[in-house]
Amino acid sequence: MPVTFLLFLAMFLFPVCWPFLALYILWLFYDRAPANGGRPIQWVRHLRFWKHIASYFPVTIVKEEELDPNTRYVFGYHPHGIISHGALMNFGTEGTNFSKVFKGLKLRLLTLETNFRIPLYRDLLLALGLASVSLQSCTHILNMKTPTSIVIVVGGAAEALEAHARTNNLTLRKRKGFIKVAIRNGAPLVPVFSFGENDLYNQFANPKGSRVRRFQEVFCKYVGVSPPVFYGRGIFNYDFGILPHRKQVATVFGKAIKTEKNLSPSEEYINEIQEKYIEELQRIYDKYKNVYAADRSTELIIKE
Ligand SMILES: *[C@@H]1O[C@H](CO)[C@@H](O)[C@H](O)[C@H]1NC(C)=O
Ligand SMILES: *[C@@H]1O[C@H](CO)[C@@H](O)[C@H](O)[C@H]1NC(C)=O
């Protein structure tokens, strides 16, 4: 994000760039791609660069069952972590060979509309197949001609504030929007749990109720993005820097939970599906926790 943003600002220094900038800024007002299915560019997703990044951690896929490329799924990704590296590597790039592991499955990783307001960065996200997480965008994608699934990082900004190493606190119980979207479109729900996502950075202590946390929550409420205060490692040292730690991220795909299409589902039905979803999420966590989270300090905690 900072690199693309600085590049954009730097272009103002060079008069030869001005015509391009003028056209580009006009284009920003005109372009509706983020809410209309995105604009993935396959060669950008397939760049070798992403394979190197994915193998640094490494990010790996753990598959519980085959998924049908002609079905439109709603994937819930947990936890958000500081910046969801695992989600970006698996769903935004071919760094982990996603299209070979789940043959023919097409999808869009969804993120906040705000991210598409940042010049150049937005175009990179679009090229990686990201789209807006608004309701309109979800519905649009799930009804495109080519069967296409969506991936929602359910916990979002609130969960990022609890992304502390060796713990997994999820913001989930009150988040029923993604379940409703699935039911309204008759799409099966697939819980995805990424072990290690919370271990990639150190976040400064911000316990619930502290002044830092209250500020972060107010900021989050009005700006929509959360400001976790974090650090990782440097290139030549392991103690401090902006690089993520070199820790494995194992992304486990649970079994799909079928939903019955209903445009106005009852509260009971939504809760019933949510129960099944949480049960499956808990099952994959328990099944793999001793392999991929052997050094955890607390168990999975599912919060509101
Ligand atoms: C992806 O596929 C290539 C070629 O088949 C293979 O060499 C590589 O190890 C795979 N990467 C991962 C992360 O599985
Ligand atoms: C996770 O939730 C528990 C229970 O609410 C809380 O005590 C703990 O501090 C939380 N952990 C983090 C890292 O926020």
Q: Give CA–CA dist 59/199, Å, rounded.
A: 13
pLDDT on residue 222: 87
pLDDT tens by residue, 202-239: 999 999 999 999 999 999 888 878 788 999 999 899 88
Q: Whose CA is nearest to atom 12 of ligand 1?
A: 96
Asked if pLDDT for residue 181 goes beyond 90, the answer is: yes
301 lines ligand 2 (CB under 6 A): yes
Residue of 99 and 2 predicted with greater confidence: 99
The DSSP symbol for 298 reads S
Which residues on adjacent β-strands are paired with residue 130? 109
Among 55, 90, 97, the mutation site with the greatest number of ligand 1 atoms within 8 A of its Cβ is 97
Residue 207 Cα distances to 78, 161, 217, 253, angstroms: 21, 9, 12, 31
| DSSP-based three-state secondary structure for 13 | coil
Q: How confident is the prediction for the chain on average, in pLDDT?
A: 96
pLDDT on residue 97: 97
What pairing do the DSSP bridges indicate for beta strands 249-253 and 189-195?
A: antiparallel
Asked if pLDDT for residue 105 goes beyond 80, the answer is: yes
Q: Whose CA is nearest to atom 2 of ligand 2?
A: 169
Sheet with 59-63, strands from edge to edge, namely 59-63, 249-253, 189-195, 74-78, 149-153, 107-111, 130-132
How much distance in Å is there from the Cα of 108 to the middle of ligand 2? Answer: 31
Q: Whose CA is nearest to atom 4 of ligand 2?
A: 301
pLDDT on residue 32: 95
pLDDT on residue 2: 86
Domains belonging to the chain, first-starting first, are 31-303 (3.40.1130)
Asked if pLDDT for residue 91 goes beyond 90, the answer is: yes
169 lines ligand 2 (CB under 6 A): yes
What are the structure tokens assigned to 235, written together?
């290139």
For residues 72 and 149, the answer to whether their CB atoms sit within 8 Å is yes
Q: For residue 51, give the ligand nearest its CA.
A: 1
